[in-house]
Amino acid sequence: MRMSSPRFQPSSPIHGTGRRKSQFTYRQLSLLASYSTSSPLRVIAHVDLDAFYAQAEMVRLGIAEDQPLAVQQWQGLIAVNYPARSFGIGRHCTVTDAKKLCPKLIAQHVATWKEGDEKWAYHDDAASHIGTHKVSLDPYRLQSRKILALIKESLPPNLQKVEKASIDEVFLDLSAHIHSILLQRFPELTNPPPYDDPTEKLPLPPITALDWQADALIDLEDAELEADDPDWDDVVILIGSEIVRDIRAHIRRALGYTCSAGIAGNKMLSKLGSGYKKPNQQTVIRNRAVQHFLSGMKFTKIRNLGGKLGDQVVSSFNTETIKDLLPVPVEQMKLKLGDDTGVWLYNTIRGIDPSEVNSRTQIKSMLSAKSFRPSINNQEQGIKWLRIFAADIFSRLVEEGVLENRRRPKTINLHHRGQGGQTRSRQSSIPQGRTLDEATIFELAKNLFSQIIQEARVWPCANLSLSVGGFEDGVTGNLGIGAFLLKGDEARESRGTSREASVGSSTHERPEKKRRVDNPGIQRFFPRKGSSSGGDVEESLDDDVVDTVNPRIRTKEASPNRTGNGPKPIMDNYIKVCTRCDARLDDAEALQNHLDWHFAKDLQDEERGKRTFANSHSTVSRGQKTATASSSSSKKPTRASASNSKLEHGQSKLKFG
Ligand code: TTP
Ligand code: CA
Ligand code: CA
């Protein structure tokens, strides 16, 4: 079946030699230079590190590449390298089970903050100290930053658009970079269009064979399509794959990490591509292969189609496959799902995704949290944790340049969750005008804490989280952060600005923050995170939405059965479903952790002034929405209530999809 969208027609409608013109126009080519989402020639790449935390530990410890290794958090595994995966070890395994499967497995525990310590460290006995330690993901953040910096370095400064999508992945819009390479390689493209008419078709590329090297090339449905000469969409994606191959080699050489990538015409496809072949591979999805690539797939694999919407689509059309949905007319989709969602679905299953790559790399807030297992019962216990939170946040602020006054947060929040799930929170502003230090953060936190505990029924406490937000730039020409959000000349100008000259300036205008609305009409349908798509569902996240749990969906079969000092095994046979985003979690504890994650995410979103879908459809109302000083309790999470009496997963995991 042929697509109606011109983008996915085979690039050469006429077979053989008769064809003279490309299917693309001069105008479409020039749109490439401005990252226009309407250019059918745009090229997007998604790069995702292989078994990221595991590789980080291997690099840190100098471990041989073929040595099975997993990263342990209490008694569970949060990352498993590929050699260990070949023994059947996965994230669902306990350390004990994993060692049975592979006795020579190295299980490296994540770094932790130990109560009373000034700094996180790798402690040999961390796994048995869930009550007094708190996980630190700093080592991975640091590696993530290095990798991101390297990726940015590998691209021309004025022709890059890099969106950090999580701690181990980025989207790259390579369009403008490719445009410039294309004009160099094919100078005939710089000629003005015939009759100066930009709607004229381009000449065909003067090449008939493309060298894809070791790329995994998605096959075509119809071998005949392969016989068609390449058009410019094939050429640009080939150039994209060369760029990505170089970036990957650079990361490998300089830092020792392997990663996988997908190269395609939009974000959705590039993300599906990076997960298609792992590890250390890149997959190219040419326009002419899109249809075949998608038609064999279940639509529930696609971002936003894993949860409630996916279920609705399944029941409306009685199928899970894209193939079966393709013949459904758009009118019928609109009828069943509403206009916006119907149109969105119609386009999505055809591989159409106009969402932009956003070069947003600034941290908006930071959060440090701990779920208590067992719950804590008095102020002193709480204060010990506040001290750790303050140290944790402060060390991250130092990385952000708070000491040089490059950036600083304006507000601080403390959130408290009682054993029954009710939440309370207080917020205050952070005094400006002098350099922020750890002691100040600690004092502010204690202050908020004493406000909260003046209320009735705050004990036992199941979770505390401290966050800072409302970051402001203290300096003009904030190279490396602010400059990144500026474009072209603006950015070059800002780079020339003397940093010292403006230290302390509070009048600096913040770089324009553009709120992204990928599919404006249907935002309401989608959680920004955590829908059960089966893969990591990520939006662009700040580095520091961490420390609560990951809403990663596990399958029923993959039910964890943890032992030892970690969370007790919970003998639930049914999957829990989050009422906020439809994520499926396999036990009550995972669900509660997941709700904690929502809670933390809401706080962050608030900081960004965002109202997320999750917020507006929440059954778990948050404590405080704004900077008022009063506190409030929330309703119990409806489906989670059964779990509230259960012990918490007393740790803090990276949020990230
Ligand atoms: P992922 O990219 O989902 O997975 P991965 O990098 O370990 O493996 P893959 O090769 O399949 O991409 O997650 C990146 C890191 O995030 C992972 O190394 C550890 C952390 N993480 C958690 O802590 N908990 C989780 O549930 C998930 C999914 C990831
Ligand atoms: Ca990864
Ligand atoms: Ca990832």
Give the pLDDT mean for 253-258: 98
Average predicted confidence (pLDDT) for the chain? 75
pLDDT band at 301 (very low <50, low <70, confident <90, very high): confident
Residue 643 predicted with pLDDT over 90 = no
Residue 294 predicted with pLDDT over 80 = yes
Global pTM exceeds 0.75: no
Residue 395 predicted with pLDDT over 70 = yes
Report which listed range, 101-110, 455-464, 510-519, 633-642, is most confident. 101-110
Q: 42-58 pLDDT, tens per residue? A: 999 999 999 999 999 99
- Least confident among 126-135, 217-226, 286-295, 628-637: 628-637
Residue 534 has what DSSP assignment? S
Q: 10 Å Cβ neighbour count for 302?
A: 25
Closest of 444, 366, 448, 369 to residue 407, by C-alpha: 366
What does each C-alpha distance from 44 to 286, 412, 652 come to in angstroms? 11, 37, 33
Phi, psi of 255 (to 5 degrees): -120, -10
Mutate to test the pocket of ligand 1, among 48, 81, 283 (most ligand atoms within 8 A of CB): 48
- pLDDT, position 299: 92
Give the pLDDT mean for 3-21: 47
Give the pLDDT mean for 405-413: 90
Rounded CA-CA distance 194/202 in Å is 9
Q: 421-477 pLDDT, tens per residue? A: 888 999 999 998 888 999 999 999 999 999 999 977 899 999 999 999 998 876 433
CA of 197 to the centre of ligand 1 (A): 49
Alpha carbon 45 to chain centroid, angstroms: 14
Rounded CA-CA distance 581/243 in Å is 36
Report residues whose beta carbon is within 6 angstroms of any ligand 1 atom.
Answer: 48-53, 78-79, 167-168, 278-279, 536, 550, 552, 653-654, 656
The residue whose C-alpha atom lies closest to atom 15 belonging to ligand 1 is: 52
CA of 145 to the centre of ligand 2 (A): 15
Beta bridge partners of 416: 424, 464
- The ligand with the least distance to the CA atom of 49 is 2
The residue whose C-alpha atom lies closest to atom 10 belonging to ligand 1 is: 50
Q: 104-108 — which CB contacts under 8 Å span 24+ positions? A: 104/67, 104/68, 105/68, 105/69, 105/70, 106/63, 106/67, 106/68, 106/69, 106/70, 107/69, 107/70, 107/71, 107/72, 107/77, 108/57, 108/61, 108/69, 108/70, 108/71, 108/72
- pLDDT, position 359: 85
655: helix, strand or coil? coil
Identity at 273, one-letter amino acid code: G
Using the atom order of ligand 1, give the atom closest to the CA of residue 654. Answer: 23
Rounded CA-CA distance 524/614 in Å is 9
Greater confidence, 657 or 332? 332
456 Cβ contact partners less than 8 Å away, ≥ 6 residues apart: none
- Least confident among 221-230, 270-279, 457-466: 221-230
pLDDT band at 592 (very low <50, low <70, confident <90, very high): low
Using the atom order of ligand 1, give the atom closest to the CA of residue 169. Answer: 2
Q: 321-377 pLDDT, tens per residue? A: 999 999 999 999 999 999 999 999 999 999 999 999 998 666 778 899 999 988 999
Rounded CA-CA distance 268/283 in Å is 13
Q: 138-183 pLDDT, tens per residue? A: 999 999 999 999 999 999 999 999 999 989 999 999 999 999 999 9
All domains in the chain, ordered by first residue: 52-137 (3.40.1170.60), 296-356 (1.10.150.20), 365-473 (3.30.1490.100), 489-584 (no CATH)
Tokens representing 58 are: 């291997």
CA of 455 to the centre of ligand 3 (A): 41
Using the atom order of ligand 1, give the atom closest to the CA of residue 73. Answer: 23
